[in-house]
Every structure is written in C-alpha cells, then in structure tokens.
Amino acid sequence: MSYHLYAIGNALVDTEYEVSDAQLQAAGVEKRHMTLIDTARRAELLSHVHNVKSHRTGGGSAGNTVVALAQLGGKAFYSCRVADDELGDFYTKDLLANSVATNLTHTKAPAGQTGSCMVMVTPDAERSMSTFLGATADIDESALHPHDIVKSRVYYMEGYLAASPTGLTAAIKGRAIAAQAGVKLATTLSDMSMINFCRPGLDAMVGTDLDFLFCNEEEAQVWCGTTDVAQICQQLGQQAKIVCLTRSAKGCLVIEAGQVTEVPAAQVKAVDTNGAGDMFAGAFLYAVTHGHSHAQAAWLANQAAGRVVSQYGNRLSQENMNGIKADFARHIAVV
C-alpha cells in the first residue's frame, strides 16, 4: 500500500469574502449553491467585492479532502490540473506543503488560467460559491497515475467532475482501474446543482459497487426526491455499502447493511460552512483506513467538520488537526 487515499478532482484556489445578504443579492449570487462562471462574470463579481477583505487558500472539494486526511497522518495522492501561472504555482506548493503527492510534480502545466472559486460567506454562515474552472475544465485521463491508484486503499471521485466531460471520463477510467485492483471506491454528491444538471455523470460515478458515498441532507433530499428521512436512508442504502449523510447541527447518519447509526455533531457555533463536507470525508476516510469502526470514523469526522465551520476558511491549521486527533484518541480509549 502506497496511499490511504487517491483522489481526482478540481484544482481551485479559493478566495473567501465575508459579505452581507444585501451584498450577495446585489451581486446576483445564488445563496448556498455552487454556480459555474466565465471570465466576464468573474470580473463583474470581483468589482462587487473589491473593498471586501479576502483570504486565499488552496481549495477544490477533493483537494480539501486529501489535505484533511494528510494532516491527520494519512498518505494521499491528488490528480488534478492547473495552468502555468501564479495561482497554479500557489496550488502545487500548497499540496506539497501539506504532504500530498500529486501528478502536478510530474507534468509541465499548460498555458492558461488556473481555476478559482469566489466564496461569499454571509452572517448566517452559509457559503455561496462562484467557480471559474479555468484549466481544470480540461482535466483528462493524462492526470491519472494508474500505478498509484492500484496501490491505494480508497479511490475517491469528486462529484463536481460530473460537469466536465473529460473530467468525468477520467474519473470513470480511474474507477475501473481501482475496482479491478480491489481498491475501495468513494464519491460525493457535491452540490444540488450537480444533481439537478449533471445527474447522469453522478450516476456513473456511483455505479453499482460503490463502497463510500458522502452527501448532506439537502443533497440527499434532491437526489431521492423526498424529505422523508426513513425513505432517504432506504434509497441511499442501495447506492453504496456505507453512506454518510451529514445533517449540520444534527450530526450525521451512517447507513450500512440496512442499519442507520446516528452520530452526534460537535457542539460549535457555525460561522462559515465552506469545506465542511470535504473535511468530513477526509477525516472519515482517514479513520476507516486506519482500522477504526464506521461509527468512530463518523465521530472524528463530525469533530473535524465542526471545527472547520467554527472559523472562516476551508482548511484547519496543523495544530488544530493535532488537537482533534488527540481528542479522538481519548474518545476511542473511553468507548
């Protein structure tokens, strides 16, 4: 085994802005959703926030997940695509600084613009994302490292790749390589917009032999076409061996073999939900690839997600992660 987690996803540099609901409306941004934007729309949005204090970090949903796992002590590989520009250099160095191996160190980045995401956070802690894909829109099979996929415990596909024809093809090819080698398969529903507009791609990622599926309550409701929790659990339970359904302050449900286990949330005051689901997946997969039960993994994931929503930004410091890991060791010693 070389890696606990091999993931493929979008390389995006996140820039986060704290805005009011009025500013969000004035900018014409749909609340709580991820919206794809072009260069002109990005310039327009930047004009709305030019006086707003901002914070820049490495991002991308699966990128956040592999960094979380690596910070907890796992070994991760990330396949993605950046351009040969300042943001691409920033993104590559950020992965390496977090001890994440990547295809970016083996290939020359193409000309163009690296993908970026403008994250507007309102006082109710909701994040609204406007994503300019740039170079990552053209991620393809060349980003895959098959010899590393087959030496991994889990192969993880970012649901947002359903919006990219070449990205989806690459994710599905990697999925087949992983399945052939007996590597566990994982994906996330990512966002309501993906379910509404890219359902066939997500269906292909989920397939018929998925091991881990991650989604939040709102995504699950849209996916299943109902708000009835029992019905949702029954439907999702047929999609993967283990399903993690996150429910914000209500904690999460782990669905496995017809059984539903409720795991309580961390008691925190949320200020920014950006990155919560990514953090949950990274911490959960860290725990299960290190011999812990699914209930224990969900406890750790809830703690990590709770910590990230109680601050601004999609990532936690290594010091914060070390504290969460210490809390986890005490928790499993008690139970």
Give the per-residue pLDDT at 1.
74
Give the per-residue pLDDT at 263.
97
Give the per-residue pLDDT at 272.
86
Average confidence score pLDDT of the chain? 96
The average pLDDT across 20-49 equals 94
Q: What confidence category does residue 183 fall into, taking pLDDT thresholds of 50, 70 and 90? A: very high
Domain boundaries, given as residue ranges, for the chain: 3-334
Question: Does residue 48 have a pLDDT over 90?
Answer: yes
The average pLDDT across 157-180 equals 97
Contact 149, 181 (CB under 8 A): yes
Give the per-residue pLDDT at 271.
87
CA atoms within 13 A on the CB side of 70: 24
Question: Does residue 304 have a pLDDT over 70?
Answer: yes
CATH superfamily placement of domain 3-334? Ribokinase (3.40.1190.20)
Question: Does residue 217 have a pLDDT over 90?
Answer: yes
Give Cα separations from 301 to 125, 215, 239 (angstroms): 19, 13, 21
Q: What confidence category does residue 335 fall into, taking pLDDT thresholds of 50, 70 and 90? A: low
pLDDT tens track for 279-299: 999 999 999 999 999 999 999
Dist. CA 317–CA 286, nearest whole Å: 17
Question: Does residue 168 have a pLDDT over 80?
Answer: yes
Percent of the chain with pLDDT over 70: 100
The average pLDDT across 124-138 equals 94
Place of tokens 């914070």: 55
pLDDT tens track for 233-266: 999 999 999 999 999 999 999 999 999 999 999 9
Type of residue numbered 57: T
Give the per-residue pLDDT at 334.
84
